[in-house]
Amino acid sequence: MAISETTRAQMREVLVDYPRKRSALMPLLHLAQADEGYISQDSIVVVSEMVELTEAEVTAVSSFYTMYLKRESGRVRVGVCINSLCAVLGGDEIWDSLVDHCGVGNNQTTDDGAVTLERIECQAACTHAPVMTANWEFLDDMTVEKAKQVVDDLRAGQAVQSTRGPVVRTFADAGRTIAGVDDGLTAEGEIRDDRMLAGLRLAQANGDAGRSAEAERQGAVNVKGR
């Protein structure tokens, strides 16, 4: 499937933001993947021409980073963190239960094309372990039963609210956001809570208020930008 003209237009808009064309390589790959569902050879050709790199150079990047896929994803990629903290707090059990529940394994997609399961290393959300993501939106403090319900709702096409962010959208929509296309959802959902701010508040209590206040401000900016 060739990249659509709409996506090519978005690529050109993103490209303008980068003084050096090659610096736009990763955002353009995300846009191509949003359009086709994975990084195809056609994607590599189109992107290489736009950023003025060789096809070999673009292939090297797309094959190195795990967020770029070699085969088409389901509408939602459900990632389960299996790194140490999440694993011991229930992540391994959640993963095993979803494999049984969905009948698919790592990087495999359910028969209805709705959900692709993915084992993920640390998602930098240890305050809410065990953690899942759905198209990279956080689903915190998960249990086996909650994880199964999330997957069932996603497969049924029902709305699933992320813990810190907007309602879970499609894989394609999430990819466009990652590429830098404004989704208008910056203010949607909760962005932080007491557990996330515990270290900053401890610093304030210990008299490092100025530095921790700036860190808290920066943390809010970073989370809002997702």
Residues 6+ apart with CB under 8 A from 160: 134, 139, 150, 153, 154, 167, 168
Helix axes 55-64, 41-51, angle to 10 degrees: 120
H or E, element range at 81: strand 76-81
How many Cβ atoms from other residues are within 10 Å of residue 34's Cβ? Answer: 22
State which fold the 5-64 domain adopts.
Arc Repressor Mutant, subunit A (1.10.10)
Whether residue 166 is preceded by a cis peptide bond, meaning omega within 30 degrees of 0, is: no
Q: Whose CA is closest to 9, among 38, 50, 37? A: 50
Q: What is the pLDDT of residue 17?
A: 92
Q: What is the pLDDT of residue 175?
A: 93
How many Cβ atoms from other residues are within 10 Å of residue 174's Cβ? Answer: 23
Q: Whose CA is closest to 38, among 8, 14, 67? A: 67
108-109 and 76-81 strand pairing: unpaired
CA distance 226 to 184: 12
CA distance 177 to 175: 5
For each successive 10 residues of the chain (226 residues), what is the average pLDDT?
Answer: 87 93 96 94 95 97 94 94 91 96 95 94 89 94 96 95 90 92 77 72 74 59 49
Helix axes 41-51, 25-36, angle to 10 degrees: 150
State which fold the 76-170 domain adopts.
Glutaredoxin (3.40.30)
DSSP assignment letter at 161: B
CA distance 111 to 103: 9
Count CA atoms closer than 13 A to 139's CA, side-chain side. 26
CA distance 149 to 102: 12
Task: Please check whether the two domains, 5-64 and 76-170, share a CATH topology.
Answer: no
Q: What is the pLDDT of residue 171?
A: 93
Residue ranges per structural domain of the chain = 5-64, 76-170, 191-226
